[in-house]
Homo-oligomer: A and B are copies of this chain.
């Protein structure tokens, strides 16, 4: 159950066996069926979820009711609304499973306890969040600077498993254009 996540954390820092044990003991295991909301807009996010198995999408809904996908999270990723989680403020996003999922969860209390008793985890979380910043910066750049076609091709390369796991209109909403246009881009690409 913990092999993946323990492997994951040691990529960020070297932990002593009892630090790892403490960490594992604080994680809550949960199985969640597909199409389940882990978080809805307006709720406070009380988890940071590591995905052992499955696929999860987080998204915003804009004023016209359109969805904007923020993240497709798969095995070995974390998903949460970090701002809501840490500040206890209502979230603006939805987090929903796309498949049956096997999750390992921290809540604000267990996370705080972990950081108190094994402060070395501060570093791990910092490094994790830093990588997140880089990824978001890159994505922002790409969203502004490239064409729909290029975005889609880059997406396929970077997230090769997602097209089999998420419907196309969600991918369009991740890339920042309409589902109809993605369909047109795809037929255009197929003709090449």
Given known contacts A126-B122, A129-B129, A143-B144, A137 and B62 CB-to-CB distance under 8 angstroms: no
Q: How many copies does the complex hold?
A: 2
Q: Is A27 an interface residue (CB 8 A)?
A: no
Contact A130 B62, beta carbon cutoff 8 Å: no
Which residues from chain B contact A140 at a C-beta distance below 8 Å? 70, 136, 139-140, 143
Q: Is A32 an interface residue (CB 8 A)?
A: no
How many angstroms from the CA of A126 to the CA of B139 in the assembled complex?
21
Taking a contact as CB atoms closer than 8 A, the residue among B60, B115, B146 that contacts A123 in the complex is B115
How many angstroms from the CA of A17 to the CA of B146 in the assembled complex?
49
Q: Is A153 an interface residue (CB 8 A)?
A: no
Which residues from chain B contact A139 at a C-beta distance below 8 Å? 140
Which residues from chain B contact A119 at a C-beta distance below 8 Å? 119, 122
Given known contacts A60-B145, A140-B143, A145-B62, A83 and B126 CB-to-CB distance under 8 angstroms: no
Contact A82 B126, beta carbon cutoff 8 Å: no
Residue of B nearest to A131 (CB): B83
Q: List 17 A-B contacts (CB under 8 A).
A: A60-B141, A62-B145, A62-B146, A66-B145, A68-B145, A70-B137, A70-B140, A70-B141, A82-B134, A122-B123, A125-B126, A126-B126, A129-B129, A129-B130, A136-B137, A136-B140, A144-B176
